[in-house]
C-alpha cells in the first residue's frame, strides 16, 4: 500500500477509574476502505470513536488521521474527518434546511453556493420535500439521515459513524447502507461501529471484533470465515426416507469421496457433510452430485451453509464454548426439473 493509512491506531487505551475500557487497540484503515468495529454493548466502541475523533483523551497510545497525529496535532487531524455520533445532534426547533445551514456555517463552508449544496444533500436523502419542516417532527430515521447529511456537507475524506442504524426502521437502514456504499466507491474512508452482524457483513471490507476493549479478531468476512473451516457444510435434503440399505451404502460412498464428516440427520432427513477444509468445497460438491446421479438418489435440494458472522463472532469471542450448530441456508435446487 503506497498511500499512508487513513486511520492508524497504535496501542490505544482508555482507563476509567480502575477499568480498562479500550485495551491496547492496534488497527489501520486504508484509504477508501470501510472498516466496521463490531462488538456488543459496552465493548468499548463509542469510547474508541470518541478518542479517534478527539472528544476524549486516550490514557495511552497514539493515533493518526490522514497522517496527522491526533494527540500532537489534533486541529489538523480534525480538519480531515467528520463524525456522526450515536446521539442525534440536531436542533429540534430548526427546520431541516436551517439545521444544515447551521452546520455549514459552523464548519466555515463557503457561503457561495451553500443553499444549492444543502438542497443537493437533502435531495440525496429524500428530504428535499421536508426542507422547511421542523425536525422535531421527523422520525428517528429521518433525523439520522439528516445528521449524516450534515457530516457529509464538508466532503470529508474520512467519516466516522457510531452505530449509524441502531433502532431505525428497515427502509432507513437500507437507505443509509446504500449511501455509505456509494461514498466508499467515491473513495471516502469509513470507520463505523455496529453491533449488527448483518450490517458489518453487508458493508465492511474489513471487520474488527472488539470484546471488553480488546480486538479479538480482524479481517475480511472471508478471512474470519476461513478461521472456522468446520462450520461450512453441504446438506442434501432427501425426497423420501432412505431404506437401511440405501443409508448404509450412501454413508459409505460419501465417506469415501467427500472431504469432511458425513452424517445423516434422521429428524430432518438430511445428509450433511461438515467440510474439514473450505478448499474442498468444489471437490466435495462433485462427489455429492456423482452420488446423486449414479445412485438415483431422490432429493429435494442441495445447499451449502456458511457460518454467519454471528456464529463466527460467538466462536471467536468465546473460544471455549462449542460452536453453535448451523441451520442450513435456503436450499439451492439442483437439477430436479426434467
Ligand X SMILES: Nc1ncnc2c1ncn2[C@@H]1O[C@H](COP(=O)(O)OP(=O)(O)O)[C@@H](O)[C@H]1O
What does the chain come to in residues? Answer: 338
Q: Considering the complex, state which of residue 41 and residue 294 has its C-beta at the smaller distance from ligand X.
A: 41
Bridge pairing between strands 68-69 and 60-65: antiparallel
> Taking CB within 5 to 8 Å according to partner kind, which of Mg ion, ligand X, none is near residue 39?
ligand X
Mark out the alpha helices in the chain (DSSP H runs).
Answer: 45-52, 74-78, 96-106, 114-124, 140-152, 170-185, 197-203, 221-226, 244-257, 281-294, 309-317
- Would you count residue 6 as binding Mg ion (CB under 5 A)? no
Distance of CA 78 to the CA centre of its chain: 25
- Which of the stretches 36-44, 100-108, 142-150, 230-238 binds ligand X when contact is defined by CB under 6 A? 36-44
Q: Which three cell numbers, joined as nine digits, stand for 282?
A: 468444489
Q: Which residues of 85-109 are buried (b: 16+ CB within 10 A; e: fewer)?
A: bbebebeeeebbbbbbbebbeeeeb
Please, which residues bridge with residue 65 across strands? 7, 68
CB of 192 to ligand X, least distance (A): 12
Q: Which of 7, 9, 12, 21 binds ligand X (CB under 6 A)?
A: 21
Q: Which residue has the cell 448451523?
A: 326
Q: Which of 11, 26, 42, 55 binds ligand X (CB under 6 A)?
A: 42
Distance of CA 1 to the CA centre of its chain: 23
- Would you count residue 46 as binding Mg ion (CB under 5 A)? yes
> Taking CB within 5 to 8 Å according to partner kind, which of Mg ion, ligand X, none is near residue 158?
none
- Would you count residue 50 as binding Mg ion (CB under 5 A)? no
> Taking CB within 5 to 8 Å according to partner kind, which of Mg ion, ligand X, none is near residue 5?
none
Listing DSSP states for 110-164 in one string gives -STTHHHHHHHHHHHTT-GGGTTSBGGGS-HHHHHHHHHHHHHTT--SEEEEEST
> Taking CB within 5 to 8 Å according to partner kind, which of ligand X, Mg ion, none is near residue 308?
none
- Would you count residue 58 as binding ligand X (CB under 6 A)? no
Q: Considering the complex, state which of residue 144 and residue 253 has its C-beta at the smaller distance from Mg ion.
A: 144
- Which of the stretches 41-49, 58-66, 117-125, 233-241 binds ligand X when contact is defined by CB under 6 A? 41-49
Q: Considering the complex, state which of residue 38 and residue 153 has its C-beta at the smaller distance from ligand X.
A: 38
| Residues at the site binding Mg ion, with contacts judged by CB under 5 A | 45-46
| Residues at the site binding ligand X, with contacts judged by CB under 6 A | 16, 21, 39, 41-47
Amino acid at each position: 500500500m503506497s498511500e499512508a493509512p487513513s486511520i492508524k491506531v497504535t496501542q490505544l487505551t482508555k482507563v476509567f477509574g480502575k477499568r480498562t475500557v479500550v485495551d491496547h487497540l492496534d488497527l489501520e484503515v486504508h484509504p477508501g476502505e470501510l472498516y466496521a468495529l463490531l462488538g456488543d454493548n459496552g465493548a468499548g466502541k463509542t469510547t474508541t470513536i470518541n478518542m479517534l475523533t478527539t472528544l476524549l483523551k486516550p490514557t495511552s497510545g497514539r493515533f493518526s488521521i490522514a497522517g496527522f497525529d491526533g494527540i500532537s496535532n489534533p486541529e489538523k487531524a480534525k480538519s480531515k474527518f467528520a463524525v456522526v455520533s450515536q446521539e442525534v445532534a440536531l436542533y429540534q426547533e430548526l427546520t431541516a434546511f436551517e439545521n444544515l445551514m447551521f452546520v455549514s456555517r459552523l464548519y466555515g463552508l463557503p457561503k457561495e453556493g451553500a443553499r444549492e449544496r444543502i438542497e443537493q444533500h437533502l435531495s440525496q436523502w429524500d428530504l428535499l420535500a421536508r426542507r422547511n419542516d421542523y425536525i422535531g417532527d421527523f422520525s428517528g430515521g429521518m433525523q439520522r439521515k439528516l445528521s449524516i447529511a450534515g457530516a457529509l456537507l464538508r466532503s470529508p475524506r474520512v467519516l466516522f459513524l457510531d452505530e449509524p442504524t441502531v433502532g431505525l426502521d428497515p427502509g432507513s437502514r437500507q437507505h443509509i447502507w446504500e449511501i455509505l456504499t456509494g461514498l466508499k466507491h467515491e473513495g471516502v474512508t469509513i470507520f463505523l461501529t455496529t453491533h449488527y452482524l448483518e450490517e458489518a457483513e453487508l458493508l465492511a471490507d474489513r471487520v474488527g471484533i472488539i470484546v471488553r476493549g480488546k480486538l479479538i479478531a480482524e479481517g475480511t468476512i472471508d478471512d474470519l470465515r476461513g478461521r472456522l473451516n468446520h462450520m461450512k457444510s453441504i446438506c442434501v435434503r432427501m425426497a423420501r426416507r432412505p431404506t437401511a440399505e440405501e443409508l448404509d451404502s450412501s454413508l459409505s460412498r460419501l465417506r469415501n469421496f467427500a472431504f469432511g464428516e458425513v452424517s445423516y440427520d434422521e429428524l430432518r432427513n438430511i445428509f450433511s457433510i461438515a467440510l474439514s477444509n473450505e478448499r474442498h468445497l468444489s471437490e466435495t460438491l462433485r462427489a455429492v452430485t456423482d452420488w446423486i446421479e449414479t445412485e438415483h438418489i431422490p432429493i429435494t435440494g442441495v445447499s451449502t451453509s456458511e457460518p454467519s458472522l454471528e456464529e463466527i463472532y460467538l466462536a471467536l469471542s468465546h473460544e471455549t464454548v462449542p460452536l453453535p450448530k448451523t441451520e442450513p441456508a435456503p436450499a439451492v435446487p439442483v437439477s430436479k426439473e426434467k
